[in-house]
Copies of this chain bind each other. A is one copy, B any other.
């Protein structure tokens, strides 16, 4: 909300007032106002009240800040009537936020400019292109020390003997393969490239000196479960990918979700209230008894996973038009404070 009556900029994140003058937010705001429509006039001088809620787990290596900054930049761009691509602005808040500006399947272009100005995102296809695609996130109960992914990546650039080959040869080819797989709705190719590329990212982390480890024994057990399951099904039905943390993102098609989550739930027994444990889209769990036997798998000790999120490909940021959906009331203060 912008108003001539506001006396200072204010920022609430998940119902807590937070410093407005942080670097990432300031960068985004500066870039958006630079490209504001001149017709905005005095609007550009008005102070802002920003209220943000994020229902995705924060600091779990699940790109919740990407979602947050994509929403922030989309909203500011709508307010100041910015034209053209805004993914490069979102990237100033959080690198991967540029991918979250557009819904559906998105490509983040490396770009050629030294300042990164052309490192933008474009949509490959909208979510409706492949409506069967589902994502199951296994959030791992992790007590290991966290690594900063930014400093880890810097160290990889400096020390890994593999990163150059990966960046120059492997990734460009895989991006094309992936775009083709998405366009053709070829799940097997999509899944194979997803898994190989996740493994290779972590391979580079291990080739870094000193090495960074993001995956742990639970991640490793998920990888083994996925390969065993795919082998049993005689086809690649599930893919895993791990970002800068031990949590697994599983990609799979709608029809396989219940069987896979049932199996995961039996192999990684929960100790939590199911209403807290299973989040997102509904699930219809049964008993994986025969499948477990066929795969020769035994349940792990309970409580290795914190919770499971079942979700699908989203549509990207939306401008809410119903006042009742707004997080700020008419007087500019958060509704849920």
Residues of chain A touching chain B, judged by Cβ–Cβ distance below 8 Å, are 144-145, 161-162, 165-166, 169-170, 192, 195-196, 199-200, 202-204, 206-211, 213, 216-217, 220, 223-224, 227
Knowing A199-B211, A204-B203, say if A217 contacts B144 (CB, 8 Å): yes
- Docked-complex contact B203 and A162, CB < 8 angstroms: yes
Report which of B161, B195, B227 forms a contact with A200, defined as CB distance below 8 A: B161
CA distance A204 to B196 in the complex (A): 12
B residues less than 8 Å from A195 (CB atoms): 209-210
* New A-B contacts (16) at CB < 8 Å, excluding given A195-B209, A210-B223, A216-B217: A145-B224, A161-B169, A162-B166, A162-B207, A195-B210, A199-B206, A199-B208, A199-B211, A200-B206, A200-B207, A202-B206, A203-B203, A203-B206, A206-B206, A211-B223, A213-B220
CB contacts (< 8 Å) of A145 on chain B: these are 224
* Whole-angstrom CA separation of A166 from B88 in the bound complex: 36
CA distance A47 to B316 in the complex (A): 79
Min CB–CB distance A176 → chain B (angstroms):
15
Q: Is the CB of B224 within 8 A of A220?
A: no
The list of the 7 closest CB pairs from A to B, nearest first, reads A203-B207, A203-B206, A210-B227, A203-B203, A217-B217, A199-B211, A213-B220
Q: Which of B162, B166, B199, B216 contacts A209 (CB 8 A)?
A: B199
Residues of B within 8 A of A227 (CB): 210
- Give the residue name and chain of the B residue nearest to A145 (CB): B224
- Report how far A161 CA is from B144 CA in the complex, Å: 30
Give the shortest distance, in Å, between A214 (CB) and chain B (any CB): 10
What is the bound-complex CA distance between A216 and B211, given in angstroms? 14
Nearest chain B CB to A195's CB is how many angstroms away?
7
